[in-house]
Amino acid sequence: MKAAVVREFGQPLVIEERPDPEPGPGQVRVRVEASGLCHTDIHAAHGDWPVKPAPPFVPGHEGVGLVEETGEGVTHLAVGQRVAVPWLGRACGRCEHCLSGWESLCESQVNTGYGCDGGYAEKMLAWADFAQLVPEGVSAVDAAPLTCAGVTTYKALKVADVRPAQLVAISGVGGLGHLAVQYAKIAGATVAAIDVTDEKLELARELGADILIDARTQDVGAELKRHGGAHAALALAVSPAAFEAVNSGLRRGGKLVMVALPAHGTLQVPIFDTVLNGTSVIGSIVGTRQDLAEVFQLHADGRTKVIHETRPLTAVNESIDDVLHGKVKARIVFDLGAGGRER
Ligand SMILES: [Zn+2]
Ligand SMILES: [Zn+2]
Protein backbone atom coordinates (compact mmCIF):
# COMPACT_ATOMS: atom_id res chain seq x y z
CA MET A 1 0.00 0.00 0.00
CA LYS A 2 1.06 3.58 -0.63
CA ALA A 3 1.58 6.12 2.13
CA ALA A 4 2.79 9.73 2.27
CA VAL A 5 5.56 9.71 4.85
CA VAL A 6 7.33 12.46 6.79
CA ARG A 7 10.94 11.32 6.83
CA GLU A 8 12.43 14.56 8.07
CA PHE A 9 10.81 17.69 9.53
CA GLY A 10 10.35 20.48 7.03
CA GLN A 11 11.14 18.28 4.02
CA PRO A 12 8.62 17.23 1.35
CA LEU A 13 6.64 14.10 2.20
CA VAL A 14 7.74 10.95 0.39
CA ILE A 15 5.23 8.59 -1.24
CA GLU A 16 6.36 5.12 -0.16
CA GLU A 17 5.25 1.58 -0.79
CA ARG A 18 4.70 -0.16 2.55
CA PRO A 19 3.31 -3.53 3.64
CA ASP A 20 -0.31 -3.53 4.82
CA PRO A 21 -0.37 -2.90 8.58
CA GLU A 22 -1.63 -5.81 10.69
CA PRO A 23 -4.34 -5.00 13.23
CA GLY A 24 -3.41 -5.90 16.81
CA PRO A 25 -5.91 -6.76 19.56
CA GLY A 26 -8.68 -4.14 19.66
CA GLN A 27 -7.68 -2.65 16.33
CA VAL A 28 -9.09 -2.65 12.82
CA ARG A 29 -7.43 -2.10 9.47
CA VAL A 30 -9.17 0.53 7.37
CA ARG A 31 -8.96 0.81 3.58
CA VAL A 32 -8.88 4.58 3.36
CA GLU A 33 -11.25 6.20 0.88
CA ALA A 34 -10.73 9.86 1.74
CA SER A 35 -8.39 11.79 3.99
CA GLY A 36 -8.58 15.50 4.83
CA LEU A 37 -5.66 17.89 5.09
CA CYS A 38 -5.76 19.75 8.40
CA HIS A 39 -3.31 22.51 9.30
CA THR A 40 -2.19 20.35 12.22
CA ASP A 41 -0.75 17.86 9.71
CA ILE A 42 1.49 20.62 8.39
CA HIS A 43 2.64 21.49 11.91
CA ALA A 44 3.34 17.78 12.44
CA ALA A 45 5.34 17.53 9.20
CA HIS A 46 7.35 20.61 10.17
CA GLY A 47 7.90 19.58 13.80
CA ASP A 48 6.51 22.98 14.81
CA TRP A 49 5.19 22.21 18.26
CA PRO A 50 6.93 21.58 21.59
CA VAL A 51 5.77 17.92 21.68
CA LYS A 52 6.95 16.44 18.37
CA PRO A 53 6.09 13.27 16.47
CA ALA A 54 8.94 10.88 15.65
CA PRO A 55 9.81 10.55 11.92
CA PRO A 56 9.28 8.49 9.89
CA PHE A 57 5.50 8.81 10.34
CA VAL A 58 2.33 9.12 8.27
CA PRO A 59 0.29 12.24 9.10
CA GLY A 60 -3.48 12.62 8.76
CA HIS A 61 -6.32 12.59 11.28
CA GLU A 62 -9.31 12.92 8.96
CA GLY A 63 -9.04 9.45 7.45
CA VAL A 64 -12.32 7.78 6.44
CA GLY A 65 -12.65 4.35 4.91
CA LEU A 66 -13.99 0.85 5.08
CA VAL A 67 -13.07 -1.70 7.73
CA GLU A 68 -11.05 -4.35 5.96
CA GLU A 69 -9.91 -6.58 8.81
CA THR A 70 -10.71 -6.74 12.51
CA GLY A 71 -8.17 -7.60 15.20
CA GLU A 72 -8.67 -9.91 18.16
CA GLY A 73 -11.50 -8.92 20.49
CA VAL A 74 -13.22 -6.48 18.12
CA THR A 75 -16.91 -7.27 18.24
CA HIS A 76 -18.79 -4.05 17.44
CA LEU A 77 -17.28 -3.31 14.03
CA ALA A 78 -17.57 -5.49 10.97
CA VAL A 79 -15.71 -5.73 7.70
CA GLY A 80 -17.18 -3.31 5.13
CA GLN A 81 -18.43 -0.69 7.58
CA ARG A 82 -17.38 2.90 6.96
CA VAL A 83 -15.51 4.52 9.83
CA ALA A 84 -13.67 7.76 10.52
CA VAL A 85 -10.37 7.80 12.39
CA PRO A 86 -10.04 11.08 14.31
CA TRP A 87 -7.19 12.87 16.10
CA LEU A 88 -8.20 11.15 19.34
CA GLY A 89 -6.84 7.76 18.27
CA ARG A 90 -7.31 6.35 21.74
CA ALA A 91 -7.60 7.45 25.35
CA CYS A 92 -7.12 5.49 28.57
CA GLY A 93 -10.78 5.35 29.62
CA ARG A 94 -9.85 5.39 33.31
CA CYS A 95 -8.48 8.84 34.24
CA GLU A 96 -10.52 11.72 35.66
CA HIS A 97 -10.79 13.32 32.21
CA CYS A 98 -11.99 10.17 30.49
CA LEU A 99 -14.44 9.44 33.30
CA SER A 100 -15.88 12.95 33.35
CA GLY A 101 -16.66 13.14 29.63
CA TRP A 102 -13.43 14.91 28.69
CA GLU A 103 -11.54 12.09 26.99
CA SER A 104 -10.06 14.71 24.65
CA LEU A 105 -7.98 15.89 27.65
CA CYS A 106 -6.71 12.40 28.59
CA GLU A 107 -2.98 12.58 29.33
CA SER A 108 -2.45 9.05 28.00
CA GLN A 109 -4.11 9.66 24.63
CA VAL A 110 -2.52 8.62 21.35
CA ASN A 111 -3.08 11.03 18.47
CA THR A 112 -3.65 9.77 14.95
CA GLY A 113 -1.05 10.93 12.45
CA TYR A 114 1.13 12.18 15.29
CA GLY A 115 1.69 9.49 17.93
CA CYS A 116 0.86 6.71 15.46
CA ASP A 117 0.53 6.54 11.67
CA GLY A 118 -2.43 8.39 10.20
CA GLY A 119 -4.65 8.68 7.18
CA TYR A 120 -2.32 9.83 4.39
CA ALA A 121 -2.20 6.24 3.22
CA GLU A 122 -4.21 3.66 1.35
CA LYS A 123 -4.53 1.65 4.57
CA MET A 124 -4.31 2.52 8.23
CA LEU A 125 -4.91 1.03 11.64
CA ALA A 126 -7.43 2.35 14.12
CA TRP A 127 -8.41 1.42 17.66
CA ALA A 128 -11.90 0.07 17.19
CA ASP A 129 -13.32 1.80 20.28
CA PHE A 130 -12.30 5.20 18.89
CA ALA A 131 -13.11 4.64 15.21
CA GLN A 132 -16.39 6.44 14.57
CA LEU A 133 -19.07 4.77 12.47
CA VAL A 134 -20.09 7.00 9.57
CA PRO A 135 -23.88 6.99 9.15
CA GLU A 136 -25.61 5.89 5.94
CA GLY A 137 -25.84 8.66 3.40
CA VAL A 138 -22.67 10.47 4.47
CA SER A 139 -19.96 10.16 1.81
CA ALA A 140 -16.32 9.54 2.68
CA VAL A 141 -15.23 12.87 1.19
CA ASP A 142 -17.79 14.74 3.30
CA ALA A 143 -17.03 12.72 6.43
CA ALA A 144 -13.30 13.48 6.24
CA PRO A 145 -13.42 17.23 7.05
CA LEU A 146 -16.12 16.61 9.66
CA THR A 147 -13.75 14.26 11.48
CA CYS A 148 -11.52 17.13 12.67
CA ALA A 149 -12.69 20.51 11.32
CA GLY A 150 -16.31 19.66 12.07
CA VAL A 151 -16.00 18.16 15.52
CA THR A 152 -13.49 20.79 16.64
CA THR A 153 -15.71 23.77 15.85
CA TYR A 154 -18.87 22.02 17.02
CA LYS A 155 -17.19 21.37 20.38
CA ALA A 156 -15.84 24.93 20.61
CA LEU A 157 -19.41 26.25 20.35
CA LYS A 158 -20.50 23.81 23.07
CA VAL A 159 -17.64 25.02 25.26
CA ALA A 160 -18.82 28.61 24.69
CA ASP A 161 -22.34 27.53 25.68
CA VAL A 162 -23.80 29.36 22.70
CA ARG A 163 -27.52 30.01 22.86
CA PRO A 164 -30.08 31.52 20.47
CA ALA A 165 -30.13 35.33 20.31
CA GLN A 166 -26.41 35.53 20.99
CA LEU A 167 -23.82 37.09 18.71
CA VAL A 168 -21.04 34.66 17.77
CA ALA A 169 -17.88 35.82 16.01
CA ILE A 170 -16.10 33.31 13.77
CA SER A 171 -12.56 34.52 13.11
CA GLY A 172 -11.23 32.72 10.05
CA VAL A 173 -13.49 31.14 7.41
CA GLY A 174 -11.52 28.15 6.14
CA GLY A 175 -11.79 24.42 6.68
CA LEU A 176 -12.90 24.98 10.28
CA GLY A 177 -14.64 28.33 9.94
CA HIS A 178 -17.01 27.35 7.15
CA LEU A 179 -18.39 24.62 9.40
CA ALA A 180 -18.34 26.84 12.51
CA VAL A 181 -20.60 29.35 10.76
CA GLN A 182 -23.13 26.59 10.10
CA TYR A 183 -23.04 25.14 13.62
CA ALA A 184 -23.48 28.62 15.13
CA LYS A 185 -26.51 29.16 12.89
CA ILE A 186 -27.92 25.75 13.90
CA ALA A 187 -27.48 26.86 17.53
CA GLY A 188 -29.66 29.86 16.68
CA ALA A 189 -26.99 32.54 17.00
CA THR A 190 -26.40 35.65 14.93
CA VAL A 191 -23.06 35.08 13.22
CA ALA A 192 -20.32 37.57 12.42
CA ALA A 193 -17.70 36.08 10.10
CA ILE A 194 -14.24 37.62 9.92
CA ASP A 195 -11.65 37.01 7.23
CA VAL A 196 -9.19 38.73 4.93
CA THR A 197 -10.30 37.56 1.48
CA ASP A 198 -13.44 38.42 -0.50
CA GLU A 199 -13.85 34.78 -1.48
CA LYS A 200 -13.98 33.52 2.10
CA LEU A 201 -16.30 36.29 3.25
CA GLU A 202 -18.62 35.45 0.37
CA LEU A 203 -18.49 31.77 1.34
CA ALA A 204 -19.45 32.70 4.91
CA ARG A 205 -22.38 34.74 3.59
CA GLU A 206 -23.56 31.81 1.46
CA LEU A 207 -23.44 29.56 4.51
CA GLY A 208 -25.59 31.90 6.57
CA ALA A 209 -23.32 34.48 8.22
CA ASP A 210 -25.30 37.60 9.13
CA ILE A 211 -22.43 40.07 9.49
CA LEU A 212 -19.23 40.07 7.42
CA ILE A 213 -16.10 41.78 8.72
CA ASP A 214 -13.10 42.30 6.45
CA ALA A 215 -10.10 42.42 8.79
CA ARG A 216 -7.98 44.06 6.05
CA THR A 217 -10.02 47.23 6.07
CA GLN A 218 -12.20 47.13 9.18
CA ASP A 219 -11.43 47.30 12.90
CA VAL A 220 -12.69 43.88 14.05
CA GLY A 221 -13.17 44.85 17.70
CA ALA A 222 -15.00 48.08 16.86
CA GLU A 223 -17.26 46.37 14.32
CA LEU A 224 -18.26 43.67 16.80
CA LYS A 225 -18.88 46.31 19.49
CA ARG A 226 -21.02 48.25 17.04
CA HIS A 227 -23.29 45.18 17.06
CA GLY A 228 -23.23 45.01 20.84
CA GLY A 229 -20.11 42.85 21.19
CA ALA A 230 -19.76 39.09 20.78
CA HIS A 231 -21.10 36.71 23.42
CA ALA A 232 -18.62 34.18 22.06
CA ALA A 233 -15.74 34.38 19.62
CA LEU A 234 -14.03 31.39 18.01
CA ALA A 235 -10.40 32.09 17.10
CA LEU A 236 -9.80 29.82 14.10
CA ALA A 237 -7.27 31.88 12.12
CA VAL A 238 -3.63 30.90 12.62
CA SER A 239 -2.54 34.42 13.56
CA PRO A 240 -2.00 35.76 17.10
CA ALA A 241 -3.07 39.23 15.87
CA ALA A 242 -6.45 37.78 14.85
CA PHE A 243 -6.87 36.34 18.38
CA GLU A 244 -6.29 39.78 19.89
CA ALA A 245 -8.57 41.53 17.44
CA VAL A 246 -11.52 39.27 18.12
CA ASN A 247 -10.89 39.28 21.87
CA SER A 248 -11.29 43.06 21.79
CA GLY A 249 -14.76 42.64 20.30
CA LEU A 250 -16.26 40.60 23.15
CA ARG A 251 -19.17 42.02 25.07
CA ARG A 252 -19.18 41.94 28.88
CA GLY A 253 -19.23 38.32 30.03
CA GLY A 254 -18.15 37.18 26.57
CA LYS A 255 -15.96 34.16 25.91
CA LEU A 256 -12.99 33.82 23.63
CA VAL A 257 -12.51 30.22 22.58
CA MET A 258 -9.03 29.58 21.22
CA VAL A 259 -8.89 26.80 18.65
CA ALA A 260 -6.26 27.58 16.00
CA LEU A 261 -2.69 26.68 16.92
CA PRO A 262 -0.15 29.13 15.53
CA ALA A 263 3.35 27.59 15.69
CA HIS A 264 4.45 30.42 17.97
CA GLY A 265 2.32 32.98 19.61
CA THR A 266 1.29 34.61 22.84
CA LEU A 267 -2.00 36.32 23.42
CA GLN A 268 -1.73 39.60 25.33
CA VAL A 269 -4.83 39.65 27.50
CA PRO A 270 -5.47 43.09 28.99
CA ILE A 271 -5.97 42.42 32.72
CA PHE A 272 -8.01 45.54 33.50
CA ASP A 273 -10.55 44.98 30.69
CA THR A 274 -10.76 41.25 31.36
CA VAL A 275 -11.49 41.77 35.06
CA LEU A 276 -13.94 44.62 34.60
CA ASN A 277 -15.75 43.02 31.70
CA GLY A 278 -15.76 39.52 33.17
CA THR A 279 -14.60 37.95 29.94
CA SER A 280 -13.10 34.46 29.64
CA VAL A 281 -10.33 32.98 27.53
CA ILE A 282 -10.80 29.25 26.99
CA GLY A 283 -8.79 26.68 25.02
CA SER A 284 -10.68 23.97 23.14
CA ILE A 285 -9.12 20.91 21.50
CA VAL A 286 -11.06 18.61 19.13
CA GLY A 287 -14.08 16.83 20.67
CA THR A 288 -15.21 13.52 22.11
CA ARG A 289 -16.59 10.50 20.29
CA GLN A 290 -20.08 11.64 21.24
CA ASP A 291 -19.42 15.10 19.76
CA LEU A 292 -18.29 13.48 16.51
CA ALA A 293 -21.36 11.24 16.45
CA GLU A 294 -23.53 14.39 16.73
CA VAL A 295 -21.58 16.11 13.94
CA PHE A 296 -22.15 13.12 11.65
CA GLN A 297 -25.83 13.00 12.61
CA LEU A 298 -26.33 16.66 11.69
CA HIS A 299 -24.73 16.02 8.32
CA ALA A 300 -26.74 12.85 7.71
CA ASP A 301 -29.86 14.93 8.43
CA GLY A 302 -28.84 17.36 5.69
CA ARG A 303 -28.20 20.27 8.05
CA THR A 304 -24.59 21.02 7.12
CA LYS A 305 -22.67 21.44 3.91
CA VAL A 306 -18.99 20.50 3.58
CA ILE A 307 -16.93 22.54 1.13
CA HIS A 308 -13.99 20.55 -0.15
CA GLU A 309 -11.72 20.05 -3.07
CA THR A 310 -10.47 16.54 -3.81
CA ARG A 311 -6.95 15.78 -4.96
CA PRO A 312 -4.84 12.65 -5.31
CA LEU A 313 -2.51 11.79 -2.43
CA THR A 314 0.44 12.29 -4.82
CA ALA A 315 -0.41 16.02 -4.72
CA VAL A 316 0.32 16.15 -0.99
CA ASN A 317 3.29 18.52 -1.14
CA GLU A 318 1.68 21.06 -3.52
CA SER A 319 -1.45 20.87 -1.39
CA ILE A 320 0.50 21.77 1.75
CA ASP A 321 2.03 24.74 -0.09
CA ASP A 322 -1.39 25.88 -1.25
CA VAL A 323 -2.74 25.77 2.32
CA LEU A 324 0.27 27.71 3.60
CA HIS A 325 -0.28 30.36 0.93
CA GLY A 326 -4.00 30.68 1.67
CA LYS A 327 -4.97 29.42 -1.79
CA VAL A 328 -7.53 26.88 -0.61
CA LYS A 329 -11.16 27.87 -0.19
CA ALA A 330 -12.13 25.40 2.52
CA ARG A 331 -10.69 21.90 2.83
CA ILE A 332 -8.48 19.69 0.68
CA VAL A 333 -9.48 16.03 0.81
CA PHE A 334 -7.20 13.39 -0.66
CA ASP A 335 -9.25 10.96 -2.67
CA LEU A 336 -7.89 7.46 -2.11
CA GLY A 337 -10.63 5.56 -3.83
CA ALA A 338 -13.79 7.37 -2.82
CA GLY A 339 -13.98 8.73 -6.35
CA GLY A 340 -16.31 11.38 -5.01
CA ARG A 341 -19.11 8.81 -4.88
CA GLU A 342 -21.94 9.31 -2.46
CA ARG A 343 -21.81 5.80 -1.08
ZN1 LIG B 1 -7.17 18.69 12.60
ZN1 LIG C 1 -7.77 9.06 30.17
| Burial classification of residue 128, based on how many CB atoms lie within 10 Å of its CB (0-12 exposed, 13-18 middle, 19 or more buried) | buried
Q: Which CATH class is domain 2-147+287-335?
A: alpha beta
The C-alpha atoms of residue 297 and residue 303 are separated, in whole angstroms, by 9
3-class DSSP string for 91-160: CCCCCHHHHCCCHHHCCCCEEECCCECCCCECEEEEEHHHCEECCCCCCHHHHHHHHHHHHHHHHHHHHC
Ligand nearest to the Cα of 114, by number = 1
Give the Å distance between the CA of 37 and the centre of ligand 1.
Answer: 8
Specify the domain boundaries for CATH 3.90.180.10 within the chain. Answer: 2-147+287-335
Ligand nearest to the Cα of 103, by number = 2
Give the Å distance between the CA of 106 and the centre of ligand 2.
Answer: 4
For residue 82, CA distances in Å to 41, 79, 182, 311, 338 come to 23, 9, 25, 20, 11
161-283 has CATH 3.40.50.720 classification:
yes
Give the Å distance between the CA of 40 and the centre of ligand 2.
Answer: 22
When pLDDT is cut at 50, 70 and 90, the band that residue 339 belongs to is low
270's CB contacts (< 8 A; 6+ apart) are: none
The C-alpha atoms of residue 119 and residue 60 are separated, in whole angstroms, by 4
Cβ atoms within 10 Å of 329's Cβ, excluding its own:
18
**In the predicted model, what is the mean pLDDT of residues 245-262?**
96
pTM exceeding the 0.85 threshold for the entire prediction: yes
Q: Could you give the percent of the chain with pLDDT greater than 70?
A: 99
44's CB contacts (< 8 A; 6+ apart) are: 6, 53, 57, 59, 113, 114
Q: What local confidence, expressed as pLDDT, does residue 340 receive?
A: 44
Give the Å distance between the CA of 93 and the centre of ligand 1.
Answer: 22
Q: What local confidence, expressed as pLDDT, does residue 132 receive?
A: 98
Q: What local confidence, expressed as pLDDT, does residue 329 receive?
A: 79
Specify the domain boundaries for CATH 3.40.50.720 within the chain. Answer: 161-283
